[in-house]
Amino acid sequence: MGNEKTQLVNKLQSQEAVIGIVGLGYVGLPLMLRYSAIGYRVLGFDIDQEKIDTLNGGQSYIEHIPTDKVAAATKSGFTATADFSRIAEADAVILCVPTPLNKYREPDMSFVLSTMNALKPHLRAGQVVSLESTTYPGTTEEELLPRVEESGQTVGESIFLVYSPEREDPGNGDFETHTIPKVVGGHTPACREVGVALYAPAIDRIVPVTSTKAAEMTKLLENIHRAVNIGLVNEMKVVADRMGIDIFEVIDAAATKPFGFTPYYPGPGLGGHCIPIDPFYLTWKAREYGLHTRFIELSGEVNRAMPEYVVGKLMDGLNGHGKALKGSRVLVLGIAYKKNVDDMRESPSVEIMELIKAKGAEVAYSDPHVPVFPEMREHHFELSSVEASAENLAEFDAVVLATNHDRFDIELIKRHAPLIIDSRGTYREPAAHIIKA
């Protein structure tokens, strides 16, 4: 069966292969654009008809992904569809579907599994299936392998199975899909070889590892490293504040050490689809081996306590002005999970808004990237963004700077807001009406 592998590798290298991307979100869409830009025919799959129609109309629905790039892709043959029978047309099937946590903080694999079950009848010999969604070590072997083999193919001979974790950083202009090295693990050496052939034309540097499990664990280590270090500086922030020390000054000073130190900055909590969620994939899987991941759980505890800390600082600030939080008007600046993006997933700003509302204050938000508060699984606000203008700022008792978008005029905010709770260290010069949180 060696010829299936050889034929597929040749097809991928000569760009004759059709690339199928399942899940056209923050990960799948940039990947589609990259393959399309270098000359592959790309087929996109999604279950959201609205997304499909937007993309087929040559429009982007993600703010930091330009419409002209999507238009160029559709012009050169990219099509999006909800018809999974067309999977048979693709030589490579790349899965970029969400892997959230359920309410018990356990992995919710339903998107990956329902996607695999939808693909299964349409898989054929001479295809490679690659999972990019972040997950626990063993997912590819335990969940994808049996489903792929139920299609009647032999993995490593007639069909190939790969795990290659996504490494997108939305809003970071220093990196593009192709400049971020790509880790690739295959179920067998032949699978890995096909995986490398799949990604090598599109990505500048490929990092092959010996198994899908090693690739799955690599992604978790990257995100746990961030979660633990952010937890550490968030804890240090609370200590430094109590001691009257500016933690941002300390971090900047420590960062001048040319070895052995990487600066991480505190904030109002963790957001996004990766850092607050992925560490718990390992926590969950480790239990099967009788192990407790104490570092991960502790950093999760510290990070999850940050929105409460910010609201405590807000209450202190209002108290200093002779006001209670109940009945006050509070404007939250920035509700996306990080600066300069429109992604709301797991945003600590939303939790801050809920805490403020629960304590009886009137809450509003300003975010140039999120004009209307979106429908979210667990949070609901009937709100639209308020412009952070001089007139509007003066009408609120306090503003909470939760996400430090570059589009905010921080000098204007400083001049016109009566009280600022700064959770991002944006204002370095002390002022009577600015409270660091």
- Which residues are tagged catalytic? 274
**Cα separation, 52 vs 45, whole angstroms:** 8
Judge whether 299 and 279 are in contact, CB under 8 Å.
Answer: yes
Judge whether 191 and 166 are in contact, CB under 8 Å.
Answer: no
**Cα separation, 92 vs 8, whole angstroms:** 9
Burial of 58 (0-12, 13-18, 19+ CB in 10 A): middle
Instruction: Count other C-beta atoms under 10 Å from residue 126's C-beta.
Output: 16
**Cα separation, 84 vs 371, whole angstroms:** 33
Q: Which residues face 127 on adjacent strands?
A: 159
Burial of 432 (0-12, 13-18, 19+ CB in 10 A): exposed
Listed in sequence order, the residues at least 6 apart from 85 whose beta carbon sits closer than 8 Å to its beta carbon are: 121, 122
Judge whether 223 and 295 are in contact, CB under 8 Å.
Answer: no
Could you tell me which of 315, 317, 393 has the C-alpha nearest to residue 355? 315
DSSP 257-295: -SSS-------SS--SSSTTTTHHHHHHHHHHTT---HH
**Cα separation, 200 vs 321, whole angstroms:** 60
Q: Positive or negative CA dihedral for 133, 154, 18, 190?
A: positive
Could you tell me which of 181, 164, 294, 160 has the C-alpha nearest to residue 216? 164
**Cα separation, 333 vs 355, whole angstroms:** 15
Judge whether 105 and 68 are in contact, CB under 8 Å.
Answer: no
E-strand stretches of 200-357:
206-209, 329-333
DSSP 18-41: EEEEE--STTHHHHHHHHHHTT-E
Q: Which residues face 144 on adjacent strands?
A: none
Q: What angle do CA 161, 164, 167 make, to 5 degrees?
A: 160
